[in-house]
Structure formats: structure tokens, C-alpha cells
Amino acid sequence: MKYDRINSELYISNRAKFTAQMHQGTLAVFNSNDIYPVSADSTMPFQQHRDILALSGVDQEESILVLFPGASNPAHREVLFLKETSDLIAIWEGEKLTKQAAFETSGIKTVYWLQQFPTIFKQMMAEASGIYLNTNEHLRANTEVETREDRFIKKVKQDFPAHQVFKAAPIMHKIRSIKNDIEIELMQRACKITEAGVRRLLGFIKPGVWEYEIEAELAHEFLRNRSKGFAYTPIVASGKNACVLHYIENNQQCKNGDVILLDVGAEYANYSSDLTRCIPVNGKFTTRQKEVYNAVLHVKKEAEKLLVPGTIMAEYHKQVGCLMEEQLVNLGLISMEDIKTQNPDWPAYKKYFMHGTSHFLGLDTHDVGLWYEPIQAGMVFTCEPGIYIPEEGLGIRLEDDLVVQESVAPFNLMKDIPLEAEEIEALMNA
């Protein structure tokens, strides 16, 4: 792991939160992700499943966590099954968690090797009346790939058809929605690494640079700060490319007079940061570019004020729509007539601002969370309004990461990253 070891109190506390929600006599199982193949003997870099990570800190493939708070054997109330390691195995396969290191990471005392799982799990299931299975209930999840968790669920249903089955996902969404101080610190570190990347760019960007050169500068800065790299596929979109919301080609040359939209964030210890900034290629915004920039900035500042305990996200998104509507009228992009005659299901402002304003952020960039409940202190959201005008070859989005706080405005984890148009220009021309 590139990151420093995390305080195991985080995982001990998350497990306590999970087990407090379980029905009596049940157990819960969480599987790691597979290492996904490419072809021949190539594989993708490993990415741990965020739930086993949140409950144990185990960042290693072929791992299983079982929580069984009512187990008659106290040693079986929380158990990790890990891929066996030894001095010999370490020579061939590199460092894997020893039982002691797994304890230090997770706070879990009982650690078995994976080959013991079938026998011990059978014993545990004989004592349990039901099992919590961990399905992916993220609303935007859309994949045909069968995960290690999916295979496990199939097998459990086949081998133990008489057990009651419960959903782990809603409990995990609740736990992961609200970040504790250890997590906020990790997310702050991710944001600080992103800041270092942005500052590096302000002295680098000039007419003629290629989008991929900008991506390379960021990758360099992220990696030298103990990040694995980008938290999500980076968007480095100059000129009209900024109007393609998921532009990830990053293969064009940046032209004098264009603005570059950078939606780029570093990860740290598997926590995402998620930033968008817009930078004039030649170091100076035109009057029109600045007008649009400041309109987005105004919406962002006003929207952030709404990220306080009690806000309902659906209402928030409507209010941001109204804020945006006003700005688009001022910019001459939509008219009052357009608003009067608009389709309520697709209001006029959506022509220039067609995505949501905020999402949960954490171990996943589009993190799981309690979308339908009033927001609470400790939740972390992005705030990312944008205006996209293909006919002007201009797209502006501004995005920061904010922690909801009790009875005060949210804390901006990106408050030190240059945002005002004049500050960006000054730094580019320093």
C-alpha cells in the first residue's frame, strides 16, 4: 500500500454500527473484489470492494469478512479469511497481510487462511438463522460482470436455501453516508494532493500544450504524494470538448483563447477527491468567458449554503435549478418566454445545465448514501454546477467537496484550491 496505515478505530467503529443493525442470530459476509483480467496473463490493478474496506481496512484480494455478533464461540464474532502468506510465499508473490498485520489493520483478532473458509463457514451457518448478503444497490450501477460477491451469493443461496436472507446494502449506505473524523482527514489529504496538482498546472498551461500533457503533470504530482493516482478517469477538456460531459479522450491541443475544463481528483487511501476547475489556456479569460464563469461561481456559492442539516436533496436540486435559471436569463441564453412555456419535466435551464449539482463522495467517487433522507452533519457532497454552450465552444463547471456541519455552513475541503477567476489569472501570470 502506498498510504500510511489507518487507525483501526475507524473499522472497529464501523463494524459496531453494522452489527447494531443486525437481526438476532444472523451473520453477515463481505467479499473482496476479484483482480480483473485483461488478456494473456495481464490483469487490471487491484481495487478493493469498498464495503469490506470500510468494515476492515483489508485492501487485498481473496479476502472474506464474517460478522456474527451472536456466535456462541466468542472468537467467531468477527473473522477474517485471508489468502495464506508465509516467508516463502512472500518471495514469489510479494507482501501479503500476515495474521498479525491483519489484526493491526482491522482490529479483528481471529484471522484464518482462506482454505479454512468452507469448513468454518458451514459451522457458523449451522448456528445462524439468517445471513446478510451484500448486493450492489447503487442506483447508477450498470455492469454485466459477475463479481466475487455475486458468485458467493449464488453459492450461499444454493447451499443454504432454508436460511433467511437480509440486505447488507442499506446498512452500508447508512454507515458510509456519514464520515467520521478519521475519514474526513483522509479525504482532506486527497483534496490536498489534488491542490498540489492544480497549482503545478497553473505554471504549466499555455497555448499549444496537449490535454494529455496536462493529465501527465497531474499524474506525476499525485503519485509523488502517495496517491495511487486519479480517483476517476480524468477529464481534461479544452474548448468545445468541455461540452461533452464525459470527455475522457484528452488528446487535443489547447488553443489560445480557449478555456480548459479540468475534472480531476486524486485518490488517497481509496478515498476520492472530486474537483473541477476551468482555466484559460493563455492565462486570461475573455469578458464573455468570465461572465459565464462568474455565473457558475454564483450558483455554486449559493448552492453550497443549502448543504446544511435537514435539506432534502430533491428539493436542493430544484432550488439550484432556479438559481441557474436566473443566471442563464442574465447571460441571454434562455428567455422568460422559454421558462413560461417550458416542459416541467425538462425545464429550460437543462439545455445548458443538464446534470445534477451534488453527489455523495467517499470511498467511491459517486458514493453510496441516503439520498431520500434529510442531510446530516458528517455527510460529504460535491457541489458542481456548470454551464455548457457548444455554440460558443465553452463549458464551465466548478466543483468542490464539502462536509456538512452542525448549524454552520459546510466545510470546504477544497477551500485552498484557487477558484476566483482573478486568482487563477494572477497565478498563471506570476
Whether the Cβ atoms of residue 356 and residue 316 lie closer than 8 Å to each other: no
Query: In the complex, what is the shortest distance from the CB of residue 153 to ligand GLY, in angstroms, rounded to a whole number?
Result: 29
Q: Rounded CA gap, 343 and 347, in Å?
A: 6
* Contact partner at residue 400 from ligand GLY, Mn ion, none, CB < 5 to 8 Å by partner kind: none
- Strand 130-133 with 164-167, pairing: parallel
Query: In the complex, what is the shortest distance from the CB of residue 261 to Mn ion, in angstroms, rounded to a whole number?
Result: 10
* Contact partner at residue 371 from ligand GLY, Mn ion, none, CB < 5 to 8 Å by partner kind: none
Contacting ligand GLY within 356-395 (CB under 6 A): 359, 365, 384
State whether residue 67 is helix, strand or coil: strand
Query: In the complex, what is the shortest distance from the CB of residue 356 to Mn ion, in angstroms, rounded to a whole number?
Result: 9
Q: Rounded CA gap, 426 and 430, in Å?
A: 6
Whether the Cβ atoms of residue 225 and residue 193 lie closer than 8 Å to each other: yes
Q: Which of 61, 211, 274, 425 binds Mn ion (CB under 5 A)?
A: 274
Cβ proximity to Mn ion, 183 vs 399, nearer residue: 399
State whether residue 273 is helix, strand or coil: coil
Q: Which residue number has the CB closest to ligand GLY? A: 263
Stretch that binds Mn ion, among 26-34, 266-274, 282-290, 420-428 (CB under 5 A): 266-274
Q: Rounded CA gap, 275 and 321, in Å?
A: 21
Place of cell 441557474: 324
Three cell numbers, residue 206: 499555455
Cβ proximity to Mn ion, 102 vs 417, nearer residue: 417
Distance of CA 371 to the CA centre of its chain: 15
Stretch that binds Mn ion, among 145-153, 252-260, 261-269, 344-352 (CB under 5 A): 261-269
Whether the Cβ atoms of residue 82 and residue 114 lie closer than 8 Å to each other: yes
Query: In the complex, what is the shortest distance from the CB of residue 165 to Mn ion, in angstroms, rounded to a whole number?
Result: 34
Binding letters toward Mn ion, positions 386-405, x by CB under 5 A: -------------x------
Cβ proximity to ligand GLY, 6 vs 403, nearer residue: 403
- Strand 386-389 with 380-383, pairing: unpaired
Stretch that binds Mn ion, among 17-25, 210-218, 262-270, 385-393 (CB under 5 A): 262-270
267 forms part of the interface with ligand GLY (CB under 6 A): no
Cβ proximity to Mn ion, 51 vs 399, nearer residue: 399
Q: Residue 145 CB: number of other CB atoms within 10 A?
A: 7
Cβ proximity to ligand GLY, 60 vs 358, nearer residue: 358
Q: Rounded CA gap, 17 and 183, in Å?
A: 15
Whether the Cβ atoms of residue 152 and residue 134 lie closer than 8 Å to each other: no
Cβ proximity to Mn ion, 128 vs 383, nearer residue: 383
Cβ proximity to ligand GLY, 263 vs 267, nearer residue: 263
274 forms part of the interface with ligand GLY (CB under 6 A): yes
232 forms part of the interface with ligand GLY (CB under 6 A): yes
382 forms part of the interface with Mn ion (CB under 5 A): yes
Q: Rounded CA gap, 227 and 190, in Å?
A: 8
263 forms part of the interface with ligand GLY (CB under 6 A): yes
Nearest to 297 by CA among 332, 268, 262, 324: 324
167: β partners:
133
* Contact partner at residue 232 from Mn ion, ligand GLY, none, CB < 5 to 8 Å by partner kind: ligand GLY
Opening angle at CA 19, ends 57 and 152, nearest 5: 65
Q: Which of 78, 263, 325, 401 binds Mn ion (CB under 5 A)?
A: 263
Under the rule (CB under 5 A), what is the footprint of Mn ion?
Answer: 263, 274, 382, 399
